[in-house]
């Protein structure tokens, strides 16, 4: 049997890849306007980075990492997310010393998680993410959320729901942690092994356990919002007031804890509420992570960011019936007949392409009718027909495929004249 693609991965073929390219362009342009600069980090990192950064007790680290030993005996891991790598790079390149603060970065790249594949969940997926390092300011929290929402809005998504929560500062989290331990401890033996292990280490993780989701203690668990100290409460309220000022509707959900350990203060998710979207509705997740840079060995530096996968974004666009114009169509297809014309077409094709025109020709030595059919299949806007007679007369016939009209043009200055026609100058 022929070798097949690994489970949870996908080929993105021509026809589909144009959507990705379009999204990448839109995202790049929006990042330019919001002043986020691109960063590219390696696809694999030392395993320790994610153990430390994402957290030892998270599902990602415990169950989902692609970890392997290289030939030198080092433990490496295919990145399951981008924030830990960005934090490492920030420290490694001493970006905290950069006079331009905060440092605003974005990335777009493959991530890997050994999860059970289903609709919207892959083992290799592409995350777009943005991170702001070096500012603890409610307006930055609001900006980061606004950036994510703006990307979705500009791509045309309408059925979105922003869910937001605060996990508070260290003091609030410790108070909440104690309350969670007291809440779950008496009946912890009714929970799965993972939850039992997490009780003392990191009780917050119990709240996003997939197995014990329906246990009655989950519904009555103490809410973080009740444990926020004054400073955390004030910070959260300011973030919400900025969102209101930016006309971004939100829903506060005290049960939103996120699946990674580095969060504090603002945590948020953007969901699709389009009808029929399927079981996984979260499109985007993010939040503040003020301790992460220190954890990576850098100076105390606040951070906030988000990430979303292009796969889920495309699924949301599809369910909302949003399609894009295909910009990759052929402007000019050259149909040539006879040896001399065929040779001429080779050079003409190159000249058109050099002049910025997307051009194509027949490579299969087809007959006139078949060449015209092939031209039609490429969606060519114009077809240039060149035969022995035309060569002799130094002309070429240009057919407008939209109107069907045909014009005889001079062959010598065809490229410059065609350029004028195709850009609408004449």
- Which stretches of the chain bind ligand HAM, using CB under 6 A? 81-83, 113, 115, 121-122, 125, 127, 129, 131, 259-260, 282-287, 305-309, 311-312
CB of 75 to ligand HAM, least distance (A): 21
Rounded to the nearest angstrom, the gap between the alpha carbon of residue 74 and the centroid of all alpha carbons in its chain is 30
Nearer to ligand HAM, 307 or 372 (CB): 307
* Cα-Cα-Cα-Cα dihedral sign, residues 75, 78, 81, 87: positive
Q: Looking at beta carbons only, is 283 or 383 nearer to ligand HAM?
A: 283
Q: Give DSSP secondary structure letters for 54-66.
A: T-TTSHHHHH--E
Rounded to a whole number of angstroms, the minimum distance from the CB of residue 370 to ligand HAM is: 43
Q: Are strands 160-166 and 124-133 parallel, antiparallel or unpaired?
A: unpaired
Please identify, using beta-carbon distances, which residue of 314 and 345 lies nearer to ligand HAM. Answer: 314
138 vs 287 by CB, closer to ligand HAM: 287
Buried b (16+ CB within 10 A) or exposed e, 221-251: bbebbebbeeebeebbeebbebbeeeebebe
CB of 226 to ligand HAM, least distance (A): 24
Nearer to ligand HAM, 95 or 386 (CB): 95
Least spacing, CB of residue 266 vs ligand HAM, in Å:
10
d(CA 346, CA 360): 10
Sign of CA dihedral 169, 150, 283, 133: negative
Q: Tokens 């000022």 sit at which residue?
A: 245
Tell me the closest approach of the beta carbon of residue 279 to ligand HAM, in angstroms. Answer: 13
Strand runs labelled E in 17-174: 37-38, 44-46, 66-69, 75-78, 103-112, 124-133, 160-166
Pairing of strands 160-166, 251-252: parallel
Min. distance of Cβ 256 from ligand HAM in angstroms?
11
Cis amide linkage into residue 303, ω under 30° from 0: no
CA atoms within 13 A on the CB side of 209: 24
Q: Helices marked H in 310-395 — which ranges?
A: 310-319, 339-354, 368-377, 388-393
Q: Which is nearer to ligand HAM, 109 or 222 (CB)?
A: 109
Residue tagged 């052929």 (tokens):
330
Residue 136 three-state SS: coil
Cβ proximity to ligand HAM: between 161 and 381 the closer is 161
Helices 193-201 and 170-184, axial angle in degrees (round to 10): 140
CB closer to ligand HAM out of 250 and 366: 250
Min separation Cβ 381 and ligand HAM, Å? 37
The nearer residue to ligand HAM, 121 or 381, going by C-beta atoms, is: 121
- Supply the minimum distance, in Å, between the C-beta of residue 115 and ligand HAM: 5
Q: Which is nearer to ligand HAM, 206 or 284 (CB)?
A: 284
Whole-Å CA distances, 118 to 8, 278, 311, 312 = 8, 10, 12, 12
Closer to ligand HAM by Cβ: residue 82 or 414: 82
Q: Give strand pairing partners of 268.
A: 164, 286
Note whether 261 and 241 are within 8 A (CB).
Answer: no
With vertex at residue 160, the alpha carbon angle to CA 155 and CA 166, rounded to the nearest 5 degrees, is 120
Q: How far is the CB of 122 from ligand HAM (least distance, A)?
A: 4
Least distance from C-beta 80 to ligand HAM, angstroms?
A: 7
**C-beta of 267: minimal distance to ligand HAM in Å?**
9
Note whether 157 and 322 are within 8 A (CB): yes
Residue 271 and residue 172 in contact, taking contact as beta carbons nearer than 8 Å: no
């Amino acid at each position: 049997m022929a070798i097949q693609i690994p489970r949870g991965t996908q080929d993105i073929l021509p026809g589909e890849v144009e959507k990705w390219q379009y999204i990448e362009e839109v995202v790049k342009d929006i990042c330019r306007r919001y002043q986020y600069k691109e960063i590219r980090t390696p696809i694999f990192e030392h395993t320790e980075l994610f153990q430390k950064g994402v957290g030892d007790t998270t599902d990602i680290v415990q169950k989902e990492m692609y970890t392997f030993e290289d030939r030198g005996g080092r433990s490496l891991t295919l990145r399951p997310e981008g924030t830990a790598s960005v934090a490492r790079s920030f420290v490694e390149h001493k970006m905290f010393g950069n006079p331009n603060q905060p440092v605003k970065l974005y990335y777009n790249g493959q991530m890997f998680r050994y999860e059970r594949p289903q609709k919207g969940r892959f083992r290799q997926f592409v995350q777009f993410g943005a991170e702001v390092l070096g500012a603890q300011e409610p307006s930055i929290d609001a900006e980061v959320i606004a950036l994510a929402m703006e990307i979705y809005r500009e791509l045309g998504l309408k059925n979105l729901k922003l869910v937001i929560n605060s996990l508070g500062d260290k003091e609030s989290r410790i108070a909440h942690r104690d309350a969670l331990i007291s809440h779950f401890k008496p009946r912890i033996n009714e929970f799965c092994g993972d939850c039992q292990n997490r009780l003392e280490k990191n009780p917050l993780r119990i709240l996003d356990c997939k197995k014990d989701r329906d246990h009655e203690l989950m519904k009555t668990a103490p809410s973080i919002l009740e444990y926020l100290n004054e400073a955390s409460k004030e910070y959260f309220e300011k973030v919400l007031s900025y969102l209101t000022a930016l006309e971004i509707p939100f829903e506060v959900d005290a049960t939103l804890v996120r699946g990674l350990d580095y969060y504090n203060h603002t945590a948020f998710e953007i969901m699709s509420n389009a009808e029929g979207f399927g079981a996984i509705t979260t499109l985007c997740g993010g939040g503040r992570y003020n301790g992460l840079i220190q954890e990576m060995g850098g100076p105390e530096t606040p951070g906030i960011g988000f990430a979303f996968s292009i796969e889920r974004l495309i699924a949301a666009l599809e369910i909302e019936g949003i399609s894009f114009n295909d910009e990759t169509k052929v402007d000019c297809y050259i149909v040539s007949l006879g040896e001399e014309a065929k040779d001429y077409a080779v050079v003409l094709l190159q000249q058109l392409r050099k002049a910025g025109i997307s051009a194509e020709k027949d490579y299969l030595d087809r007959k006139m009718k078949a060449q015209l059919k092939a031209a039609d299949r490429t969606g060519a806007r114009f077809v240039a027909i060149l035969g022995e007679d035309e060569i002799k007369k130094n002309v070429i016939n240009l057919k407008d495929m939209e109107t069907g009209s045909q014009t005889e043009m001079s062959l010598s200055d065809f490229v410059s004249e065609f350029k004028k026609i195709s850009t609408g100058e004449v």
